[in-house]
Structures are given as structure tokens and as C-alpha cells.
């Protein structure tokens, strides 16, 4: 009976409990939106402000019961301590503040247990005095925590967390471009007076475009304990930075991609206080190389360092870094006290592979041949210990009197800031560019007494010259200087040019002959510049000939000096015969390269020339080389033989310019300049004082101006040649005060009287004389005053040309001849016309007659 009576009662209890639970759930879901918390806004604001220790502003508050009782705050702003600026320390659109239920139930006191923000912006500020805004924050939190242990009214420190937020860094009022994005940050009090912090984020920079996926992930785990000041907080930090790609890392730190590739992992452990901390770091890089190439054995690096850091003094002591490198090792020890005046460092290299030095240089500098390999080892010790009495001007010149600035040898000054030396032994450099290895039995790098912190080295290498080639170098922390002096064979010079990054040095490939004398100096910064390279036909230079500096990324390399050639020859593809250079000097400067007046012979042709190759032109995307060529007596027949290699049927122009057409020999490079000849012989014509301005580009040659003396007068011609199936010529010009007697002799006639003037234009195409004559078409106009054409047997001129006051005529050029059209011969008041033609040939066939006789003969022929 009892069991029956309890059964229905137990079921009703369970039912009521279920209904009650449902009611509570419904109430929790339905009732909160109808509960107004506006009148509690000030209390909530005060509670949040007391929790974080900063003044707080918010727009609105809503109550949320599930999953835990909390306030949802809109547009939260946490004000900054005025000592650190006016910009809010934190801004978040939405914040969830969880409520501590026990204090609310038992004491009706509102306390915040957790503050969660999403997509917030947090500012971390450092003042000029070295104070951080987190200092006052932790001091306030420490004061509240200390009060909470003995004061029941103290507000406990809440759990703070931020997700998908941004951490900005400010130096005073200036916001730096560096920040952490997509950050997750947690800060909580683990026990009274002890805090834990956890941070994860991606480094970013606001003023450059970055691929955030390649900047890596920074993680921080830390523990802090209470102290009067932040810098005295006992602290333990573990930081690691993983999956950083060196190209994006250089953009992040330097603002530009330096062309480095590889992966970086960094680890840091800090133990002690922010004022004095024992720091342990490890830096590992793998696959380090330049972006331009992927070497067979990329450079890896693994260095571990320990040191003690003092925040107030910004000093470092007991530095010890070790890194294994191949079968050797690198060790760095030293101290960096406040002011750096007592800094001491010692670098030890023990059997470090020479390949490491080559890989480091290739990584820092662009254009170094990726195929280079170096065998040998580097060992030695360098120490740095500055002293106040050091005077850089006290360098003593060597016995040869060369000043230190010329990279000459100097006698070391005792007790300089740098002491010791590094020796590279049995270095053997090979590569695709070298026909045989470059051997350096011993190379010693020593401190430079002429500069406080610099290293110098010198080497004498036999490279095919009559004497060794002397190479000197000076290396500072941010720059380099290299000097090359002596004789070198052309094959080895070409190899060194390619190795040093002289890209596409096609001109050097075309020069042959005895060794040349070089006197070169190069200097520039280590980073953000291009290696000296030769200009070539691809970037607008005359193949030939000249390395020049380039600007890359805002910094420049400077190449100055000269190369002297004696008895060499230059044979480009577009010439049939080589150009013999009896004497030529090439000078370099920052603006480009200059050939001094070159004494050359080109077959039977002899002359002088200058060439200027400029860089960084503002007027055009490409800088065309400018040249001047000068001749004494220039015979077109000799020039044709030199250009073509042998006399061939056809005219000089047709054969010369035929070589400019695609599909024959290689095109001439783009260039412009002037040509002068004291006397230019064009068959029976002698052009005196000829000056021509030429421009050649892409198979088209422009004669912009040709001025010369002709038969006692002057001639001015302009024209162009366009390459197609047959070269097409367009010429026009004027002649003035040309001798009538001279023109008569050219036509095989006897003319006399005043000079002749006129103008004309002609278009013709072809390669041979017959093609040119048959395709010629154009017009000619001339005027001749007070002239006379004497009688000859053949041709027999009309009587009205025996003496006349004025003869003006227009002629048509077509069908291989020049035919007189409208013309007028004036003798006193009488005006008549003549008929005539001149058929092209050597000599030309000329016919002249009265116009009436010519018409009668034509009518008789038609009958």
C-alpha cells in the first residue's frame, strides 16, 4: 500500500521539478530583455573602472543571464593616464563583463570576475623617460590586491582577455608603425600579488604592405609578482617567434624587401626583473638565400646567446654567443655598458668554412654569381675595446707614401679600438664563370688604423697580366670600399665582371688583345643597393663597354676609375671587320661611363671617337649612348669595304643599311650622336666639312641633319631609312650656291655662270644600284641665274641655253631618270622652255633640246 501511495506522489514531484526548471529557463531567456539596467549604468561603470584601475566610458549596458550572469557593454573606452597621453588605452565595440554571484547575493555588492573583449585596440605607451603605461596599471592592481587581503571593500582584480584584437605601440604621443594583429591576450591574477600573462599575435607594420601569413606568430608566456615599480617586478618570460619568412621580416623591420629568403625561429627567455634580467636567446634560420637563386646548399644558422640586461642603463654584460658552423664554430663575448664608451667585444672564428663568408656576402649583396663555391677555412680573433685617446688622423702612411684613403697599406697603431686578425687560408673559388679556379693561398683581414671601426685586407693575384693585380678592401659596419689596380688579361676580366654581378657584359666578350690596365674603386652601403654592372644593349648602351653604378631601393653604389686598352680590337656582331683600338681609356663616374677620344682604325679607315653612356636619365626610360666620331679624309669606298668586309655589287648605302634589317646580321644597338669628316668622298662628289647627326633605333636610322660643303656651296639633307623587305629611304634637302661649272663637269658638260640653288626630295628602295634607280621617285627644283651651257658634240644643248638671265625648273624623278617638267628660260624679255632628261648611270646620259623641237619630234613619231 505504501509503495502504491508513494508512486503517484513521486511522479508529481518530478513533474513539478521539471516544470519549475522549464519555468526558470524560460524566465532566464525571456525576462532579462525586459529588465532595465540603465539606472545601474553608473554603478556598472564604477565597477569596471575599479576593476581595471582606469576611468571608463561606455554607451549602453544589457544584462545577460546565460551562459553566466554578465553585462554586455557597448562601445567601451578605457581612458589613459594623462602622463602617457590623451588617446584611450583601450577601445572595444563589445565587451562582456561577468558578474561574481556570491558578493552580489550575500552583500549586494557588484563585482566583475571576468572582462572579455573582441576586436579591441590596445595601446602600449613608452615615454621619453623610459616609463611604460603598464607600470601604473600594475601598481594600481597591486595596491588593490594588497588591499583585498586585509580589506573586505577592496575590488579584486578580474580576469582580462582579448581575442582577435590589435596591440599598438606608441613612443610618447607618436604611434609607431609596428603592431600585433589578430592577437589573443589574457591577463589574470593567479594569487594575491602574482599575475600571469599570455599573448599570441602576428607582427604587422601599418606603413608597408605585408603578407601576414609570412611574418610569423609571436607567443609570450609570462609570470609577474608585485613590486613598487614595474621595472622591479620579478618576472619570468618565455617568448618565441616562429614561421617567419626572411623577406617579409626584412619588410617588417626595414620597410623594404631586401631579397632575403629563408625561415626564422627565435626564442627568448627572461628571468629576473625588467631592471636586471638574465636573458637567454636562440636564433635559428634555415634555407637562407637570395630571392634571385636557390643554391644547392642554402645557409643555415643556429646561435645561442646569454647575457645580463640592465634596463635603466640600457646596458648589457657577460654576453656569450656560440654557433656551430660546419666543422668550425663562431664565438662572441663582450659587454655593452651605458654610453657604450666602455664596450668590449671579442669575435672568435675557429675553422669556419670560407663558404660561409661567400654565402653571407651573396645574401647581403645582389648580383653575386649563385654558382660560386669557396673551399678553405677562416680562423682568427678580433677584439673591440675603444679608448678615449684614439685618434683616427694618426694613421701613418706606408713607405710608398700612399695615403690610407687610397686603401694603401698602413702601419698599425698600437692600442687601436680593434685588435687581432682573421686569416683565410687556402681559399679556392670555383664557379660557372671561371675557366679555372681563383686561388688565394692566404688572405689576412686586419683592423684599419685610419678608421676607428673598420677592417682592411689586400691581395695580389696573377690574372693574366704582366704584373699581379692588386685588390684592396675596407669593410665598415654599414659600408664597403674596394680598390683594384694593375694589369689583367681580358678573359679573366670578363670572368670577374660576371662574378661581381656585371650582368650581360656583352661588350667585354667582343674585346680581344693584350692585358688591360685597370684602376677602379667601388664603395657603397651593404644593404639596399645594386652591385655595379655593365650596361648593355638590352638597357640602352653601346655594346662595349662599360660598367656603371645603379640605384636600388634608395641607396647607391659608386664605381669610379678607368680601364686602359692598348692594341686591342673590338669585333661586334654587326660589323664584318674588327675595330682596332690603338689607344683607348674608359672612365667611370656616378653619372655613367666615358670613352676618352679613341684612336681607332677600321680597315683602311682611321679616326677618333668618344662615347658617353649615361644612367638614371630623367628624359627617357632608356638612356641611349651618345657618340662623336671624327675623320680627316673619309672615302665612302673604303668605309664600305670596312663595314662589309669586301666590295660587293650595289651602292654603299644599300649594302650598309641592308645589314640593319632583321634576318641578316644582328641589328645595330640604339644610339645617337654626330659624325664629322673634313672631306667625305662619295664617288665624284667631295663633301667638305661634313657634319651629320644620326639616330638609330630598332631597324630605323634617322639622318636628322647632314650639312656639308658641295662644289663651292652648301647642302643640307634630312632623311630616314626604314627596314622592311627592302630598305626604304626618304630624303629631302636643299642646296645653295653650288658651282655651275662643278655641276657641268659631273654631267660631262661645260657649264658656267652664277651658282645654282634649289631643293628636292626622293623616295627609293632596294639593295643594288639598279633597284634604287628603278624605284626612285620624287621631285627636284632649281634656280640658276646668269648662266651658260657651252656647245658640245654630245650632248648638244639648245641655243637658248648658250646664255640666259634666269633658268628655273621643276623636274620629276621616276623610271630611272630625272625629267624636266615645267621650266622657264629667260633671256631679257623673252621666256622659253626646254626639254631634257638625265638617265641614272656612270656617267649619266643627258639630253637637252628646245621644247618646240621636242614636241615636233613627238608628233612626227606618232604619225
543, pLDDT greater than 50: no
Nearest to 765 by CA among 801, 797, 725: 725
Looking at the fold, whether 559 and 424 belong to one and the same domain comes out as no
Q: What angle do CA 189, 194, 195 make, to 5 degrees?
A: 50
Selected residue with higher pLDDT from 315 and 540: 315
Question: 722 to each of 314, 621, 726, how far by Cα in Å?
Answer: 72, 23, 9
Phi-psi region of 644 (alpha: psi -120 to 50; beta: other; left: phi over 0): alpha
Q: How many CB atoms lie within 10 A of CB 466?
A: 12
544, pLDDT greater than 50: no
Looking at the fold, whether 464 and 534 belong to one and the same domain comes out as yes
Query: Residue 795, preceding bond cis, omega within 30 degrees?
Result: yes
531, pLDDT greater than 50: no
Residue that is last in its domain, among 623, 650, 676: 623
Place of cell 655589287: 649
pLDDT at 725: 67
Confidence at 646, pLDDT banded by 50, 70, 90: very low
pLDDT at 45: 79
Can you give the pTM of this predicted structure?
0.62
User: Beta 60-64 vs 56-57: how paired, if at all?
Assistant: unpaired
**Quick one: average pLDDT of 547-552?**
32
Contact present, 556 and 590 (Cβ < 8 Å):
yes
Looking at the domain assignment, is residue 489 inside a domain? yes
Residue that is last in its domain, among 623, 649, 677: 623
Confidence at 218, pLDDT banded by 50, 70, 90: very high
267, pLDDT greater than 90: yes
Provide the 3-class DSSP secondary structure of residue 79. coil
Looking at the fold, whether 490 and 377 belong to one and the same domain comes out as no
Euclidean distance between CA atoms 151 and 162, whole angstroms: 29
**pLDDT tens for residues 317-332?**
899 999 988 788 999 9
The Cα diameter of the chain in Å comes to 166
346, pLDDT greater than 50: yes
Confidence at 822, pLDDT banded by 50, 70, 90: very high
**SS3 assignment for 193-246:** CEEEEEEEEEEEECCCCCCHHHCCEEEEEEEEECCCCHHHCEEEEEEEEEEEEH
Give the DSSP H or E segment for 599: strand 592-602
| Alpha carbon distance, N-terminus to C-terminus of the chain | 159
> Under 8 Å CB-to-CB from 813, ≥6 apart: which residues?
760, 762, 776, 777, 778, 779, 780
**Quick one: average pLDDT of 560-567?**
86
Q: What is the mean pLDDT of the chain?
A: 77
Across 24-28, 59-63, 97-101, least confident range: 24-28
pLDDT at 411: 42
Euclidean distance between CA atoms 261 and 290, whole angstroms: 6
Looking at the domain assignment, is residue 182 inside a domain? no
Cell numbers for 771, please give them.
633597284
Contact present, 189 and 157 (Cβ < 8 Å):
yes
Looking at the domain assignment, is residue 358 inside a domain? yes
Looking at the fold, whether 366 and 435 belong to one and the same domain comes out as yes
pLDDT at 361: 77
1, pLDDT greater than 60: no
Question: 719 to each of 6, 695, 765, 793, how far by Cα in Å?
Answer: 123, 11, 13, 38
Looking at the fold, whether 429 and 338 belong to one and the same domain comes out as yes
477, pLDDT greater than 50: yes
Confidence at 785, pLDDT banded by 50, 70, 90: very high
Euclidean distance between CA atoms 522 and 550, whole angstroms: 12
Contact present, 332 and 321 (Cβ < 8 Å):
yes
Place of cell 665598415: 476
Euclidean distance between CA atoms 658 and 664, whole angstroms: 8
Cell numbers for 416, please give them.
687601436
Looking at the domain assignment, is residue 493 inside a domain? yes
Euclidean distance between CA atoms 68 and 796, whole angstroms: 126
**Quick one: average pLDDT of 611-623?**
63
Across 197-201, 354-358, 541-545, least confident range: 541-545
Euclidean distance between CA atoms 197 and 182, whole angstroms: 17
Euclidean distance between CA atoms 158 and 224, whole angstroms: 16
Selected residue with higher pLDDT from 334 and 313: 334
> Under 8 Å CB-to-CB from 340, ≥6 apart: which residues?
none
Euclidean distance between CA atoms 136 and 84, whole angstroms: 10
Euclidean distance between CA atoms 666 and 574, whole angstroms: 5
Contact present, 544 and 568 (Cβ < 8 Å):
no
pLDDT at 735: 93
**pLDDT tens for residues 489-515?**
888 888 887 776 554 444 567 888 899
Nearest to 359 by CA among 303, 443, 288, 257: 288
Residues making up the chain, counted from first to last: 863
For 380-431, the DSSP string reads EEEEE---TT--GGGPEE-TT---GGGT--EEPPTT-SEEEEEEEEEEEEE-
Looking at the fold, whether 429 and 512 belong to one and the same domain comes out as no
Q: Give the residue ranges of DSSP H helices in 327-366.
A: 354-364
Query: Residue 67, preceding bond cis, omega within 30 degrees?
Result: yes
Looking at the fold, whether 501 and 548 belong to one and the same domain comes out as yes
Across 38-42, 207-211, 660-664, least confident range: 660-664
Provide the 3-class DSSP secondary structure of residue 466. coil
pLDDT at 237: 92
**Quick one: average pLDDT of 139-163?**
63
Looking at the domain assignment, is residue 751 inside a domain? no
Cell numbers for 25, please give them.
529557463
Q: How many CB atoms lie within 10 A of CB 376?
A: 20
Percent of the chain with pLDDT over 90: 18
**pLDDT tens for residues 585-597?**
888 777 777 887 8
Looking at the fold, whether 472 and 595 belong to one and the same domain comes out as yes
Selected residue with higher pLDDT from 338 and 194: 194
Contact present, 153 and 167 (Cβ < 8 Å):
no
Residue that is last in its domain, among 407, 437, 453: 453
Place of cell 606608441: 170
Please state the domain count of the chain. Answer: 2
**370: containing domain:** 312-393+416-453
Looking at the fold, whether 438 and 506 belong to one and the same domain comes out as no
Contact present, 382 and 439 (Cβ < 8 Å):
no
Selected residue with higher pLDDT from 365 and 203: 203
Confidence at 547, pLDDT banded by 50, 70, 90: very low
69, pLDDT greater than 50: yes
Nearest to 482 by CA among 355, 361, 392, 593: 361
Looking at the fold, whether 534 and 435 belong to one and the same domain comes out as no
Confidence at 655, pLDDT banded by 50, 70, 90: very low
Per DSSP, 585 falls in state E
Contact present, 133 and 120 (Cβ < 8 Å):
no
Contact present, 435 and 463 (Cβ < 8 Å):
no
**Quick one: average pLDDT of 736-751?**
88
Selected residue with higher pLDDT from 805 and 67: 805
Looking at the fold, whether 508 and 427 belong to one and the same domain comes out as no
Query: Residue 662, preceding bond cis, omega within 30 degrees?
Result: no
Contact present, 141 and 156 (Cβ < 8 Å):
no
pLDDT at 193: 76
Give the DSSP H or E segment for 533: strand 533-534
> Under 8 Å CB-to-CB from 654, ≥6 apart: which residues?
727, 766, 767, 768, 769, 771, 772
Q: What angle do CA 854, 857, 863 make, to 5 degrees?
A: 145
Query: Residue 843, preceding bond cis, omega within 30 degrees?
Result: yes
**Quick one: average pLDDT of 774-796?**
85
Give the DSSP H or E segment for 10: helix 2-30
pLDDT at 690: 92
Confidence at 709, pLDDT banded by 50, 70, 90: very high
Looking at the domain assignment, is residue 218 inside a domain? no
Provide the 3-class DSSP secondary structure of residue 492. helix
Give the DSSP H or E segment for 103: helix 101-107
Q: How many CB atoms lie within 10 A of CB 34?
A: 7
Looking at the domain assignment, is residue 580 inside a domain? yes
Confidence at 212, pLDDT banded by 50, 70, 90: confident
Most confident of the following: 15-24, 138-147, 566-575: 566-575
**pLDDT tens for residues 89-115?**
888 888 887 876 666 556 556 677 788
For 760-784, the DSSP string reads EEEEEE-SSHHHHHHH-EEEEEEEE
Looking at the domain assignment, is residue 244 inside a domain? no
Contact present, 201 and 222 (Cβ < 8 Å):
no
**pLDDT tens for residues 295-315?**
666 677 788 999 999 887 788
> Under 8 Å CB-to-CB from 30, ≥6 apart: which residues?
none
**Quick one: average pLDDT of 132-142?**
69
pLDDT at 379: 93
Euclidean distance between CA atoms 129 and 172, whole angstroms: 9
Percent of the chain with pLDDT over 70: 73
157, pLDDT greater than 80: no
> Under 8 Å CB-to-CB from 521, ≥6 apart: which residues?
407, 481, 482, 483, 484, 559, 560, 561
> Under 8 Å CB-to-CB from 846, ≥6 apart: which residues?
747, 748, 749, 795, 836, 837, 838, 839
Selected residue with higher pLDDT from 157 and 236: 236
pLDDT at 61: 80
Beta strands in 295-343 (DSSP E): 299-310, 315-325, 328-336
Looking at the fold, whether 576 and 541 belong to one and the same domain comes out as yes
Provide the 3-class DSSP secondary structure of residue 553. coil
Q: What is the Cβ-side half-sphere exposure of residue 258, based on CA atoms within 13 angstroms?
A: 21
**SS3 assignment for 509-520:** HCEECCCEEEEE
Amino acid at each position: 500500500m505504501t509503495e502504491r501511495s508513494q508512486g503517484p506522489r513521486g511522479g508529481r514531484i518530478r513533474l513539478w521539478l521539471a516544470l519549475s526548471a522549464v519555468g526558470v529557463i524560460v524566465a532566464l531567456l525571456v525576462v532579462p530583455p525586459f529588465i532595465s539596467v540603465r539606472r545601474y549604468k553608473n554603478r556598472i561603470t564604477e565597477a569596471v573602472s575599479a576593476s581595471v584601475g582606469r576611468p571608463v566610458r561606455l554607451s549602453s549596458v544589457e544584462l545577460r543571464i546565460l551562459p553566466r550572469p554578465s553585462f554586455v557593454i557597448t562601445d567601451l573606452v578605457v581612458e589613459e593616464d594623462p602622463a602617457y597621453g590623451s588617446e584611450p588605452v583601450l577601445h572595444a565595440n563589445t565587451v562582456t563583463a561577468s558578474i561574481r554571484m556570491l558578493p552580489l547575493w550575500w552583500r549586494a555588492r557588484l563585482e566583475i570576475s571576468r572582462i572579455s573583449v573582441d576586436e579591441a585596440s590596445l595601446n602600449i605607451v613608452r615615454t621619453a623617460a623610459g616609463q611604460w603605461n603598464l607600470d601604473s596599471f600594475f601598481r594600481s592592481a597591486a595596491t588593490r590586491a594588497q588591499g583585498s587581503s586585509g580589506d573586505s571593500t577592496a575590488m579584486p582584480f578580474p580576469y582580462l582577455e582579448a581575442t582577435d584584437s590589435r596591440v599598438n605601440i606608441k613612443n610618447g604621443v607618436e604611434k609607431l608603425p609596428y603592431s600585433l594583429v589578430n592577437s589573443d591576450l589574457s591577463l589574470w591574477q593567479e594569487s594575491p600579488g602574482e599575475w600571469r600573462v599570455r599573448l599570441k599575435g602576428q607582427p604587422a607594420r601599418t606603413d608597408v604592405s605585408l603578407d601576414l601569413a609570412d611574418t610569423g606568430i609571436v607567443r609570450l608566456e609570462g609570470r609577474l609578482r608585485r613590486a613598487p615599480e614595474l621595472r622591479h617586478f620579478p618576472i619570468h618570460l618565455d617568448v618565441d617567434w616562429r614561421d617567419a619568412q626572411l623577406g617579409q621580416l626584412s619588410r617588417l623591420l626595414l620597410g623594404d624587401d631586401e631579397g632575403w629568403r629563408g625561415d626564422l625561429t627565435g626564442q627568448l627567455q627572461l628571468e629576473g626583473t625588467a631592471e636586471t634580467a638574465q636573458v637567454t636567446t636562440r636564433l635559428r634560420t634555415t634555407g637562407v638565400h637570395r630571392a634571385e637563386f636557390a643554391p644547392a646548399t642554402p645557409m643555415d644558422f643556429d646561435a645561442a646567446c646569454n647575457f645580463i640586461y640592465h634596463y635603466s642603463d640600457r646596458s648589457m654584460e657577460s654576453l656569450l654567443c656560440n654557433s656551430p658552423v660546419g666543422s668550425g664554430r663562431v664565438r662572441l663575448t663582450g659587454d655593452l655598458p651605458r654610453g657604450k664608451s666602455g664596450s668590449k667585444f671579442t669575435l672568435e672564428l675557429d675553422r669556419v668554412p670560407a663558404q660561409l663568408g661567400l654565402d653571407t656576402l651573396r645574401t647581403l649583396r645582389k648580383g653575386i654569381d649563385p654558382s660560386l663555391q669557396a673551399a678553405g677555412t677562416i680562423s682568427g680573433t678580433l677584439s673591440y675595446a675603444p679608448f678615449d685617446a684614439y685618434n683616427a688622423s694618426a694613421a701613418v702612411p706606408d713607405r710608398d707614401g700612399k695615403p690610407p684613403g687610397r686603401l694603401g697599406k698602413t702601419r698599425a697603431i698600437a692600442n687601436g679600438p680593434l685588435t687581432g686578425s682573421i686569416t683565410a687560408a687556402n681559399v679556392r673559388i670555383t664557379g660557372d664563370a671561371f675557366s679555372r679556379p681563383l686561388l688565394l693561398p692566404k688572405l689576412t683581414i686586419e683592423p684599419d688604423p685610419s678608421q676607428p671601426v673598420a677592417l682592411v685586407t689586400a691581395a695580389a693575384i696573377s690574372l693574366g697580366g704582366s704584373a699581379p693585380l692588386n685588390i684592396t678592401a675596407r669593410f665598415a659596419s654599414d659600408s664597403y670600399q674596394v680598390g683594384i689596380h694593375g694589369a689583367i688579361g681580358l678573359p679573366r676580366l670578363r670572368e670577374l665582371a660576371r662574378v661581381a654581378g656585371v650582368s650581360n657584359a656583352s661588350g667585354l666578350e667582343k674585346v680581344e688583345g693584350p692585358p688591360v690596365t685597370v684602376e677602379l674603386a667601388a664603395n657603397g652601403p651593404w644593404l639596399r643597393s645594386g652591385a655595379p654592372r655593365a650596361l648593355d644593349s638590352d638597357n640602352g648602351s653601346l655594346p662595349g663597354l662599360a660598367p656603371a653604378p645603379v640605384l636600388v631601393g634608395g641607396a647607391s653604389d659608386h664605381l669610379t676609375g678607368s680601364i686602359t686598352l692598348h692594341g686591342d680590337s673590338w669585333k661586334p656582331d654587326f660589323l664584318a671587320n674588327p675595330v682596332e683600338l690603338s689607344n683607348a681609356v674608359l672612365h667611370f663616374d656616378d653619372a655613367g661611363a666615358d670613352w676618352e677620344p679613341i684612336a681607332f682604325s677600321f680597315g683602311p679607315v682611321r679616326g677618333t671617337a668618344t662615347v658617353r653612356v649615361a644612367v638614371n636619365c630623367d628624359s627617357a626610360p632608356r638612356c641611349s649612348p651618345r657618340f662623336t666620331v671624327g675623320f680627316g679624309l673619309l672615302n665612302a669606298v673604303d668605309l664600305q669595304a670596312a663595314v662589309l668586309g669586301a666590295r660587293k655589287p650595289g651602292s654603299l648605302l644599300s649594302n650598309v643599311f641592308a645589314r640593319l634589317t632583321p634576318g641578316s646580321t644582328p641589328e645595330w644597338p640604339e644610339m645617337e650622336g654626330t659624325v664629322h669628316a673634313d672631306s667625305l668622298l662619295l664617288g665624284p662628289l667631295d663633301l667638305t666639312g661634313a657634319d651629320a647627326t644620326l639616330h638609330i633605333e630598332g631597324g630605323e636610322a634617322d639622318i636628322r641633319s647632314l650639312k656639308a660643303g658641295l662644289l663651292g656651296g652648301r647642302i643640307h639633307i634630312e632623311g630616314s631609312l626604314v627596314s622592311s623587305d627592302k630598305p626604304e629611304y626618304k630624303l629631302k634637302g636643299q642646296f645653295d650656291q653650288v658651282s655651275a661649272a662643278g655641276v657641268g663637269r659631273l654631267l660631262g658638260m661645260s657649264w658656267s655662270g652664277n651658282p645654282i640653288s634649289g631643293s628636292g626630295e626622293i623616295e627609293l628602295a632596294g639593295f643594288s644600284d639598279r633597284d634604287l634607280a628603278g624605284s626612285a621617285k620624287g621631285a627636284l627644283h632649281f634656280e640658276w641665274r646668269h648662266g651658260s651651257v657651252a656647245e658640245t658634240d654630245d650632248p648638244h644643248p639648245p641655243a637658248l641655253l648658250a646664255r640666259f638671265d634666269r633658268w628655273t625648273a621643276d623636274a620629276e624623278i621616276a623610271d630611272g631618270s630625272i625629267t624636266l617638267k615645267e621650266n622657264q628660260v629667260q633671256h631679257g624679255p623673252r621666256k622659253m622652255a626646254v626639254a631634257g632628261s638625265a638617265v641614272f648611270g656612270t656617267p649619266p646620259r643627258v639630253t637637252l633640246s628646245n621644247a618646240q623641237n621636242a614636241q615636233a619630234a613627238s608628233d612626227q613619231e606618232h604619225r
